[in-house]
Amino acid sequence: MATRPIHEGLFTKPDDPRGAALLAGRCGACGRHHFPAAETCPYCSAETGSVEAVGATGRIFLHTVVQTAPPGYTGPVPYGFGLVDLPEGLRVVTRLAAADLDALESGLRVRLEIAPLCTDEEGNEILSWAYRPDDGAA
């Protein structure tokens, strides 16, 4: 079975030596990160910058549990969904993966994973990112 990302340029691939990471822009003028990466900085409108791997870990800012699949979503339900604060100063909207969704809480340390989200019409696994409670293992 083949795999493909849900959208190119959002995260590292599973075999990337940097590990699981989101690919954020970093402005060359103001120095701020933005996700997803874009050619123009959303904060100062500068058109210089780079793409950096960020967000290997974070903390849940807020969360909910989605019980019903939204239109077009073919992955499993229920699933966690929320905002995660990253050490790089970003707050990202994300799926939250956990064996026990009741264990999700604000402030919980989480670690990024790149994993299958669903399967497309041709049988390919579609990869996306999610944050999972950090058990402390590196």
Q: At 112, is the pLDDT very low, low, confident or very high (cuts 50, 70, 90)?
A: very high
Beta strands in the chain (DSSP E): 3-5, 22-27, 33-34, 49-54, 57-66, 79-85, 91-96, 109-119, 125-133
Number of domains into which the chain is organized: 1
Domain span including residue 48:
3-133
The verdict on residue 71 lying in a domain is yes
* DSSP-derived secondary structure letter, 134: -
pLDDT tens digits for 36-62? 999 999 999 999 899 999 999 999 999
The verdict on residue 138 lying in a domain is no
Q: At 1, is the pLDDT very low, low, confident or very high (cuts 50, 70, 90)?
A: confident
pTM: predicted TM-score of the whole model, two decimal places: 0.92
Kindly report the average pLDDT of the chain as a whole number.
94
The verdict on residue 65 lying in a domain is yes
- Beta strand pairing call for 109-119 and 125-133: antiparallel
The verdict on residue 37 lying in a domain is yes
Determine contact, residues 136/101, Cβ cutoff 8 Å.
no
